[in-house]
Amino acid sequence: MPYSDHAVNLSRDQINQLQVARLRETVERARRAPAYAERLAGISAEDIQSPEDIRKLPLTTKARLREGMPWGFLAAPRSEVVRMHYSSGTTGLATAIYHTRGDLCRWSECVARGMLAVGVTEDDVFQNMMGYGLFTGGLGFHYAGELLGCMTIPASSGNTERQIHLMQSFGTTVLHIIPSYALRVLHFCDQAGIAPSRDLSVRVIFVGGEPHSEQLRRRIEEGFGAKVYNCYGLSEMAGPGIAMECMAQDGMHLCEDQYLLEVLDPETLEPVEEGQIGEVVLTTLRREANPLIRYRTRDMARLLPAECACGSAHRRLSRMEGRTDDMLVVRGVNVYPMQVERALLDVDEVGRNYVITLDRPEDLDRMSVAVELTQEAFTDDMRELNALQRRIERRLQTELDISVCVELHEPGELPVSDGKAVRVIDNRDQEK
Amino acid sequence: MTSSQVLCKQVSVFLENKSGRLAEVCQVLGRAEINIRALCIADTSDFGILRLIVDRPDDAVEVLQSSGFSVGSTGVLALRIPDRPGGLGDVLGELEKESVNVEYMYAFFITIAGDAVVLFKVGDEALDRTLGVLERAGVPVIPSDQVYKL
């Protein structure tokens, strides 16, 4: 029997009622997490009469999540947790998110809803080109593909030649991919004399994981001869696909039966007017293992006004328009400059100053880190200096989970680490 | 000759890939009245190593360091090589037979009695072996104090 999803047809009133009931449940569940017990002590079910009453609850920041590691935010018995994901950084900055079996099912339902809305069915061959592992991009869509009954190919990212081989051999019709990698694939096809719109069967592409422009979407659509749909998510809220575009391609419908959305002014923390840009703040409404209340995503976006042409009452988010912190997204992976600083502390041969440069040769992000070689570490032996470069690159790769080019500089040439110096130069042209 | 007599002190300077850095090195040396006798640059896409033979290597290290450069010094051999086709090939052939790996080499701008002056960097552990090969092959090693005066 084809997969179906009733929550997509909820009316606005039904969503509001559900949200009130589920927010009450969430508060009760969250109390069981040590990090929330005290902060929610004064809140009772009667305090929550409408979704707007969420404002009576405390905000949760990434810093608090980090302080609560590893178990402070766990609200279910450890034995009920069947999976965890781990975000952004291998050391001090990373946070774990736990899932019960039910949490994973509901996450898959969110993603499947978005896939279904744009016509993906059990007849599709779904090639999931997002990284599998601690990063949520791969697994999140994988189980949704299976839930819908798609033949799901866990291709993960990289190895472009094999990706295209898979698409050709198995007649792939649906992709999930980061936009810059989609361009990379098009570039590769071009070189190999393959015309994707003629030689491949791809008709639907889900993109996410990094900010991208409308122009870039159109380029991918033209190149593949396919429809490209934007999706949003973050590991703290499960992962990708909690908000996805419908066929109207005009904003991403949040699964409001599962998440409560606020868009706040990041300074005053007051709600912004509908349609105005603000920080996306989300509350999980159904999560058992790791309920999060008013989580500040640091993503800047708009709540789109009026109803969508598709008729869904689930409200829409605009594409992400920035961050309130210094987080960078490189090849779909979140990177904080602080992680670079931390990694360099482990390398005696270089100082603490650094500059990160991002560019996008041939449509793929490249990150270089300029570091200063200390006087003492200088050697006449080119091989040793090259080996040092490689060693720093490996250290950064371990910390950041992406490959990095290291450039050696003379001491005193880079801006000092304590000032308000520019440490990130982003030359990636988002418009191209 | 002791190793300090055979080995010339080559001054090495770390150069990041930025215009004007090479000129600055030369200007610092010029102001200190230090004369450059030979040089070569090894470079990658983002940095280089400038290798210099100068008349006063110890002073050169000092002035460059105090001007903020990353500086080192390395021992290299200065050899007199017959300035004719095949002259350098013969010497390298002899070294090859004894498995001496020449890490890098470069030449002076001048000749001594018709011989070219070429600087060789070999591994420290290969120095004695190299000197033996050169002696048997009749390749003169120029003592370091004479090199600085060339």
CA B89, B90, B95, B101: dihedral to nearest 10 degrees? 0
Residue ranges, comma separated, of all CATH 3.30.2130.10 domains in chain B are: 9-74, 75-149
Closest approach of chain A CAs to the CA of B84, in angstroms?
A: 31
Closest approach of chain A CAs to the CA of B12, in angstroms?
A: 6
From the candidate CATH numbers 3.50.50.60, 3.40.50.1860, 3.40.50.300, 3.30.2130.10, the one assigned to the domain spanning B9-74? 3.30.2130.10
| pLDDT computed for residue A432 by the predictor | 44
Q: Is the peptide bond before A70 cis (omega within 30 degrees of 0)?
A: yes
| pLDDT computed for residue B110 by the predictor | 79
Contact B68 A412 (CB under 8 A): yes
Contact B47 A409 (CB under 8 A): yes
Cβ(B106)–Cβ(B51) under 8 Å? yes
Contact A375 B70 (CB under 8 A): yes
Computed from CA positions of residues A241, A247, A248, A249, in that sequence, does the dihedral angle turn out positive or negative? positive
Provide the residue type at A45 as one letter. A
| pLDDT computed for residue A421 by the predictor | 60
| pLDDT computed for residue A237 by the predictor | 95
Q: What angle do CA A336, A342, A346 make, to 5 degrees?
A: 150
If you search the block for the tokens 């041939």, which residue do you land on?
Answer: A362
Closest approach of chain A CAs to the CA of B44, in angstroms?
A: 9
Closest approach of chain B CAs to the CA of A184, in angstroms?
A: 24
| pLDDT computed for residue A310 by the predictor | 93
Q: Hey, which bits of chain B come out as E strands?
A: 7-16, 36-43, 47-54, 71-82, 102-112, 115-122
d(CA A47, CA A57) in angstroms, rounded, equals 10
Q: Which residues of B touch A378 (CB under 8 A)?
A: 12, 14, 70-72
Q: Which residues of B touch A372 (CB under 8 A)?
A: none
Residue of A nearest to B13 (CA): A380
Q: Are strands A424-426 and A366-373 parallel, antiparallel or unpaired?
A: unpaired
Helix axes A382-400, A337-345, angle to 10 degrees: 130
Q: Which residues of A touch B46 (CB under 8 A)?
A: 407-408
Q: Which residues of B touch A380 (CB under 8 A)?
A: 10, 12, 49, 51, 72-74
From the candidate CATH numbers 3.40.50.150, 3.30.300.10, 3.30.2130.10, 3.40.30.10, the one assigned to the domain spanning B75-149? 3.30.2130.10
Q: Which domains does chain A have, with CATH numbers?
A: 7-324 (3.40.50.12780), 333-426 (3.30.300.30)
Give the nearest partner residue to B69 out of A379, A385, A410, using CB atoms.
A410
pLDDT beneath 70: ranges in chain B: none
d(CA A241, CA A108) in angstroms, rounded, equals 8
Q: Is A408 on the interface with B (CB under 8 A)?
A: yes
pLDDT per residue rounded down to tens, chain A (432 residues): 678 888 889 999 999 999 999 999 999 999 999 999 999 999 998 999 999 999 999 999 998 999 999 999 999 999 999 999 998 654 456 899 999 999 999 999 999 999 999 999 999 999 999 999 988 999 999 999 999 999 999 999 989 999 999 999 999 999 999 988 898 899 899 999 999 999 999 999 999 988 778 888 998 999 999 999 999 999 999 999 999 999 999 999 999 999 999 999 999 999 999 999 999 999 999 999 999 999 999 999 999 988 899 999 999 999 988 888 888 888 888 888 888 888 888 898 888 788 999 998 877 889 999 998 888 888 888 889 999 999 999 999 988 888 999 999 888 778 775 555 678 888 886 544
ipTM: 0.75
If you search the block for the tokens 């009667």, which residue do you land on?
Answer: A46
- When scoring B16, B65, B102 by the number of chain A Cβ atoms within 10 A, the one with the most, hence best to mutate, is B16
Q: Which residues of A touch B10 (CB under 8 A)?
A: 380
Classify each residue of B65-81 as buried b or exposed e, where b means 16 or more C-beta atoms within 10 Å of its C-beta.
eeeebbbbbbbbbbbbb
